[in-house]
Amino acid sequence: MNQSANDKEFYCIGCGAKLQSVEENKAGYVPSSVFKRPSSELQNIYCRRCFRLRHYNEVSDVELTDDDFLRMLNDISSKDALIVNVVDIFDFSGTLITGMQRFAGKNPLLIVGNKIDLVPNAVSHGKIRQWLTERMHEVGIRPKDVVLASAKRSESVKQLMNVIERERNGRDVYIVGATNVGKSTLINQIINIATESNDVITTSYFPGTTLGSIEIPLDDGSNIIDTPGIIQHTNLTHFLSGRELKQVIPRREVKPKVYQLNDQQTIFVDGVARFDYISGEGKQPFVFYVSNDLQLHRTKLENADEFYEKQVGKILNPPTEFTAQNFPKLKRHQFTINEPTDIVVSGLGWVSIDHIKTKIAMWAPEGVDVYVRKTMI
């Protein structure tokens, strides 16, 4: 950090975060040039997140450490409030906060399945909502309601705001979620709809944490409180650079890619995942739901290892030729399918399989979750 004399520590006057110029996505980030200013000026500096909030009504997605996130959730559990947990509908299990029902305590919990705009239009929203509710019940979460939303569709945001108003009963509303679930974009839409003033939005910080929350005032004196996001360490996005994220995280409706495979064939999802059809009842379809910006590559299973070694960072990109050397090795996960199933790579997408008695292997970077679930679509 390029600080001024004596390496004195300085803190954001908006949220209380320690100022730093090393990691843009972490608490208290400011450009390194800020630390060249006199100490007297550094006593009254806003971090970039608070600066954007004050001047542009724009909320930035900033990461929180695991310990601080747990402290924040424990603090919230002692409040009388409505808890709104935002999950990525495209990666539900990978973005669900473990133990959310426990942290909510006696407070009502609302689940928001965000990024519904990524799901193919042909799929019924009612079916998706029912599927999401069933998955919640399987992990012991009993929300007051499940709402599907998209920050790109103002009508869905207005619907969400109506549900929040109905369920909060005059209480504060805490919005929580992992990073990259689109929570900040959703909050920005709520701000745009709810207020046109730059001055009414304030920041405050949770006891014992390094980053503050953002408070959006409601008509009755209560607030919608946007909290920092938790990093999901088992999510693929945790291992990618900014350029790679733009390819991997879907930005528009995902177009399913159907491959008719014979056994002993492999599909690479560029260089970030690999799918092997080992054996089954002959030739059958496999449907891939991943970002439209990723390329799929077919090869024989017997050639797959050599193909990956030669082409990762080249044809199989991402990772790029510059990041491939330090990219985690792909780890093999084998499954036998006995009912219609999705094989999910957290942070990437999934493969849908309908045929029973099918043996497959999914490869993902070591440390990234791979799991099975009942088919969503």
Q: What are 13's two structure tokens?
A: 């006057």
Residues of the chain with pLDDT under 50: 1-2, 4-6, 197-200, 206-210
Q: What are 47's two structure tokens?
A: 């971090």
Over residues 73-104, the pLDDT tens digits come to 888 888 999 999 999 998 888 898 878 888 89
Do 246 and 317 lie in one domain? The reply is yes
Do 216 and 248 lie in one domain? The reply is no
* Domain assignment of residue 191, yes or no: no
Domains held by the chain: number: 3
Do 249 and 369 lie in one domain? The reply is yes
Do 15 and 84 lie in one domain? The reply is no
Do 177 and 86 lie in one domain? The reply is yes
Residues 6+ away with beta carbon under 8 Å from 359: 278, 279, 280, 334, 335, 336, 337
Q: What is the pLDDT of residue 241?
A: 84
Domain region containing 347: 239-374
Do 23 and 145 lie in one domain? The reply is no
* Domain assignment of residue 199, yes or no: no
**Beta bridge partner(s), residue 333:** 362
Q: Are 272 and 348 in contact, with CB atoms under 8 Å apart?
A: yes
- Euclidean distance between CA atoms 133 and 141, whole angstroms: 9
* Domain assignment of residue 201, yes or no: no
Q: Are 223 and 212 in contact, with CB atoms under 8 Å apart?
A: no
First vs last Cα of the chain: how many Å apart? 48
Do 226 and 86 lie in one domain? The reply is yes
* Domain assignment of residue 61, yes or no: no
* Domain assignment of residue 198, yes or no: no
Q: Are 35 and 6 in contact, with CB atoms under 8 Å apart?
A: no
Q: What is the DSSP string of 139-169?
A: TT---SEEEE--TT-HHHHHHHHHHHHHHHT
Q: What is the pLDDT of residue 211?
A: 56
Do 243 and 284 lie in one domain? The reply is yes
* Domain assignment of residue 112, yes or no: yes
- Euclidean distance between CA atoms 129 and 342, whole angstroms: 17
Cα-only R_g, the chain: 22
Over residues 330-361, the pLDDT tens digits come to 999 999 999 999 999 999 999 999 999 999 99
Do 87 and 18 lie in one domain? The reply is no
Q: What is the pLDDT of residue 1?
A: 44
* Domain assignment of residue 192, yes or no: no
Residue labelled with tokens 């207020």: 195
Question: What CATH number is associated with residue 116?
Answer: 3.40.50.300
77 CB neighbour count, 10 Å cutoff: 16
Do 90 and 51 lie in one domain? The reply is no
H or E element that contains 273: strand 273-279
Do 216 and 254 lie in one domain? The reply is no
